[in-house]
Amino acid sequence: MSKHPWFKLLLGLLLALGGCRRAEHPADVQVAVASDLRYAFEALRARFEAVYPNIRLIPSYGASGQLFTQLQNGAPFDLYFSADADYPRRLIAEGLAVDSSFFQYALGQLVVWVPEDSPLTLASWEELAGPQVHRLALANPRHAPYGRAAVAALKALGLYARVRDRLVFGENVAQAAQFVASGAADAGLIALSLARAPEMQERGRYRPLPPETYPPIEQGAVVLQRAAHRPEVWTFWRFVQRPEGRAVLRQYGFALPDATDHPES
């Protein structure tokens, strides 16, 4: 190696610049996200990354139960936003998530959604069992909480036995919505948060189902143990619980749990 002083100076500058580039590279946060949260989460991500440009959120969307199984099998997520609060609680019980990190971020709401040109008026629930509905889409109740809520609502309305043979199941509630949007189904029981998305509002109409017809859809989030030491993960965890995060959830039709113990701003 050269002994010239200028060479050592140049080498030091290059190392310093390389260190700066590494420091400026965004820290990635991998988030497992229930599919009903897709549009709301994209809005959350845009607001969050505008405030924290050195943190990049990388969401993976799916049915809450499927994501839960992936996490049990060691999927490398840092945060988990579930449409069923029971799944994050089970991760805590299994030692896979941080006990103190659990919070209920929203209450989901169920609607019937039809394309804009549908002959259905949605004035009566009886229309779902009528001759104009050949296929009725909902999320698979085996692993999607909105699917379980949809089945419960249909039973409470006295419709389930009459429409059972018409049901088509999406792997998650977003896929159920896509079935209707694409014409593969005539109507769908989907999340209000999806029906509120701008592109869905342009393409269809919805009517909320009576909340007393299905169990409360309590939605919860948790930090995984593998990410407990990462400050950027907790930064987003706090952001969702603050007024700016809650405002996004409210915008997309989520009912918000009573806030009595939120992280300080």
Q: At 23, which amino acid appears? A: A
For residue 235 the two structure tokens come to: 């930064």
Residue 244: name the closest of 48, 97, 55 by CA. 48
* Residue 83 CB-half CA count within 13 A: 38
CB 63 within 8 A of CB 144: yes
Alpha carbons 233 and 235: distance in angstroms, whole number: 5
User: Annotated binding residues for molybdate, as ranges?
Assistant: 64, 173
Sheet containing strand 136-139, strands side by side:
167-170, 136-139, 187-191, 110-115, 204-208
User: Annotated binding residues, as ranges?
Assistant: 64, 173
Beta bridge partners of 29: 57
